[in-house]
Amino acid sequence: MKPKILHIITNLPVGGAQDNTLLTVENLRRDRYEIHLLFGPEGRWLSRAQAIEGIRCIEMPTLVRPIQLLKDVRALIAMTRLIRRERYAIVHTHSSKPGFLGRLAAHLAGTPVVIHTIHGFPFNDFMPQLIHNFFVALERWASALSHRLITVSELNRKKAINLGIAPASKFQTIYSGIQFDLFDHPVDAAALRQSLEIGTDRTVIGFVGRLSPQKDPLSFVEAMPEILRRHPGTLFLIVGDGELRQATEQRAEQLGVAAAMRILGFREDVPDLLRAMDLFVLSSRWEGLGRSLTEALYCGLPAVATAVEGVPELISDGETGRLVPPQDPEALAQAVIDLMDKPADAQGLARAGQARVRGLFNVQHMVDEIDALYQTELHAKGLL
């Protein structure tokens, strides 16, 4: 009888943690495991999850992202009952909210192996210290219920160990892979630009991600005037949406750069759209690793990114791209201008960045490492 594995994630919007989770359940061996996926009721990728062949999808209406005490308690009770009834050999949780509720439920149900992937920490350096310390303590408590912890970068692993979240022996870094084949087909960039009404002679600087405080699109907007002063005609292409869309548009109007900025909203053709860009920017205030950055580097784009969390594992300043401090529009603008002024140097950085991603971030390598971890833990528990 194949071991049952339950993956738990909150909702399924377009995002790095969601893509990581879905790629894992899409690619794990069906002949080795019976795979179930539990998720909340919202998100653009609900249909993607439900279309995965050979797994069981479990939608839980009470599993929502915001803290809502009544729903959270109901979700915990429902999860515990489900896990106890199905007798999962492994419960594998993803991200903060499902990581807390799912690990507690698995512990209460007596699950033999509990694994949690830290896609990003629930705390960051921009929140009040008291709240930061509370979330660190909560993560320590939840990690005590885990048998193994996966981080998506070595820098995240080291940070977690330094904060005393769990002993080093519980951690394993497994880089968050991407599907190379989605990016390998030929794209007519000129035709794509024409469809977007972008002239082939314009330099396009791209941003892909949620318009949220974490991704900090406002710093990107505030860097635009200086870039335009030095390189008139530049177009800033934003692929994404979120709660800061209106603020982003308003700030662009205030700074007089709205005519040079396009927001496309969420798109399913990001692999193609990256080919229409000349340079990529990641302006995040915090970031587990930066999935959109990984994809941009794979596509051979020169990149400027903020030096936060796991990002320096992708970008070594002056080697595979440029790093700048978070919330520093002036530094961001200058780094972009430097790359635009020296296109040969920019392409050299891009080639090095592409080589780094090709060597470390293949999705099959990620899934193979997760599979090996499952096998090790199942053997240790005598379940194989």
pLDDT tens track of the chain, all 384 residues? Answer: 899 999 999 989 888 899 999 999 999 999 999 999 999 998 999 999 999 999 999 999 999 988 889 999 999 999 999 999 999 999 999 999 999 999 999 999 999 999 999 998 988 888 999 999 999 999 999 999 999 999 999 999 999 999 999 999 999 999 999 999 999 989 999 999 999 999 888 999 999 999 999 999 999 999 999 999 999 999 999 999 999 999 999 999 999 999 999 999 999 899 999 999 999 999 999 998 889 999 999 999 999 999 998 999 999 999 999 999 999 999 999 999 999 999 999 999 999 999 999 999 999 999 999 999 999 999 999 998
**Cβ burial, residue 379 (10 Å; 0-12/13-18/19+):** exposed
Kindly report each contact of residues 59-63 with a partner whose C-beta sits within 8 Å and lies 24 or more positions away, as own/partner. 63/10, 63/11, 63/38, 63/39, 63/97, 63/98, 63/101
Burial 132-150 (b: 16+ CB within 10 A, else e): beebbeebeebbebbbbbb
Q: Could you tell me the domains of the chain?
A: 4-177+362-380 (3.40.50.2000), 180-360 (3.40.50.2000)
Confirm if 373 and 346 have CB atoms less than 8 A apart.
no
What is the spatial distance between Cα 243 and Cα 236, in angstroms, rounded to a whole number?
Answer: 19
What is the spatial distance between Cα 151 and Cα 160, in angstroms, rounded to a whole number?
Answer: 9
Residue 356 neighbours by CB under 8 Å, 6+ apart: 297, 314, 320
What is the model's pLDDT at position 288? 86
How far lies 173's CA from each of 169, 223, 298, in Å? Answer: 11, 34, 20
What is the spatial distance between Cα 316 and Cα 319, in angstroms, rounded to a whole number?
Answer: 5
Residue 74 neighbours by CB under 8 Å, 6+ apart: 62
What is the model's pLDDT at position 165? 97
CA 382 to chain centre: 34
Q: What are phi and psi of 230, to 5 degrees?
A: -85, -30
Q: E strand or H helix at 162, and its extent?
A: helix 154-162
What is the model's pLDDT at position 289? 87
| Share in percent of the chain as helix, strand, coil (round to 5) | 45, 15, 35
What is the model's pLDDT at position 124? 87
Q: Which of 79, 102, 92 is nearest to 3 (CA)?
A: 92
Residue 317 neighbours by CB under 8 Å, 6+ apart: 307, 323
Q: Is 263 helix (H, G, I), strand (E, B) or coil?
A: strand
Residue 26 neighbours by CB under 8 Å, 6+ apart: 52
What is the model's pLDDT at position 14? 86
What is the spatial distance between Cα 357 and Cα 180, in angstroms, rounded to a whole number?
Answer: 10
CA angle 49, 51, 57 (to 5 degrees): 50
Sheet of strand 113-118, all strands in order from the earlier edge strand to the far edge: 55-59, 34-39, 4-8, 90-94, 113-118, 148-151, 171-173
